């Protein structure tokens, strides 16, 4: 297969996603064979690699663990942390990593112990971090709250990939159609946007690791 910057980024994204899933070499190759009939990524077409990446990512946000804080501000903090992971800003999306950050930055052992009245510094700190990573939170202010943040993160991811020469399609709309089969981003459900964010997140992390 011809090696291009986009293909290198796609290949790296597949390996990064497999590593994040904890797949050893034999399990990875068995999965690859089951998905494509090939046992090596270098023998796969770009379309097959995208299929493998879609399979590895699963299209869902990382679920909160059983002992996670359940308050609205804790759920928002968790969503922001996952967004930072998908922007390539943090390397560990787990609840334990978020708790460590909260303790380090705000001297609170757990989000379960953060009262709603004291949550603003945590939320604003995470949002400011995402802003520095390129998220323009006000860009989609006319959309409902369920979609506004997701669209802003997607736009930032696409800009990061474009700067790295690693976009997987001509534009974000074309990639959305290829991945979730929706003709316009305006028609995407929250689950569709999450799937796109997860897919682009693996690509962003791979692109940043290759720099």
Q: What is the pTM of this model?
A: 0.70
Q: Where are the beta strands (DSSP E) in 21-78?
A: none
Q: Coil, strand, or helix at residue 65? A: coil
Where are the domains positioned within the chain?
1-57+154-211, 66-133
The pLDDT mean for the chain works out to 83
pLDDT tens, residue by residue, 123-140: 899 999 999 999 999 998
Q: Measured between alpha carbons, how far is residue 195 from residues 20, 43, 62, 124, 132 in Å?
A: 16, 26, 11, 25, 23
Taking residue 91's Cβ as centre, other Cβ atoms within 10 Å add up to 11
Taking residue 127's Cβ as centre, other Cβ atoms within 10 Å add up to 18
pLDDT tens, residue by residue, 73-90: 788 888 999 999 999 999
Q: Mean pLDDT check: name the lowest of 104-108, 145-149, 206-210.
A: 104-108
Q: What is the pLDDT of residue 54?
A: 76
Mean pLDDT of 68-75: 68
* Spatial separation of the C-alpha atoms in residues 162 and 150, rounded to whole Å: 18
* 75 and 141 Cβ atoms separated by less than 8 Å: no
* 6 and 165 Cβ atoms separated by less than 8 Å: yes
Q: Which residue has the higher pLDDT, 48 or 206?
A: 206
pLDDT at residue 208 is higher than 60? yes
Q: What is the pLDDT of residue 1?
A: 55
Q: What is the pLDDT of residue 124?
A: 92
Q: Which residue has the higher pLDDT, 68 or 102?
A: 102
Q: Coil, strand, or helix at residue 122? A: helix
Q: Give Cα 174 to chain centroid, integer Å.
A: 18
What is the DSSP track for 69-87? --SHHHHHHHHHHHHHHHT
Q: Which of 165, 151, 167 lies closest to 200 in space, CA to CA?
A: 167
pLDDT tens, residue by residue, 151-197: 999 999 999 999 999 999 999 999 999 999 988 898 999 999 999 99
pLDDT at residue 68 is higher than 60? no
Q: Measured between alpha carbons, how far is residue 53 from residues 79, 163, 167 in Å?
A: 22, 21, 14
């Amino acid at each position: 297969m011809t090696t291009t910057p986009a293909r290198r980024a796609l290949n790296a994204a597949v390996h990064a996603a497999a590593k994040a899933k904890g797949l050893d070499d034999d399990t990875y190759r068995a999965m690859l064979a089951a998905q494509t009939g090939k046992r090596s990524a270098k023998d796969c077409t770009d379309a097959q690699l995208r299929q493998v990446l879609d399979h590895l990512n699963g299209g869902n946000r990382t679920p909160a663990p059983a002992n996670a804080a359940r308050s609205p501000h804790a759920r928002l903090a968790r969503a922001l942390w996952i967004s930072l992971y998908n922007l390539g800003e943090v390397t560990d999306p787990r609840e334990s990593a978020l708790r460590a950050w909260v303790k380090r930055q705000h001297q609170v052992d757990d989000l379960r112990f953060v009262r709603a009245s004291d949550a603003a510094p945590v939320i604003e700190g995470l949002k400011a971090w995402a802003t520095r990573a390129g998220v323009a939170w006000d860009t989609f202010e006319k959309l409902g709250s369920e979609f506004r943040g997701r669209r802003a993160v997607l736009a930032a991811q696409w800009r990061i990939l474009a700067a790295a020469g690693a976009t997987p399609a001509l534009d974000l709309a074309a990639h959305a159609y290829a991945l979730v089969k929706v003709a316009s981003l305006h028609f995407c459900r929250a689950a569709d946007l999450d799937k796109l964010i997860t897919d682009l997140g693996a690509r962003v992390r791979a692109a940043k690791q290759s720099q």
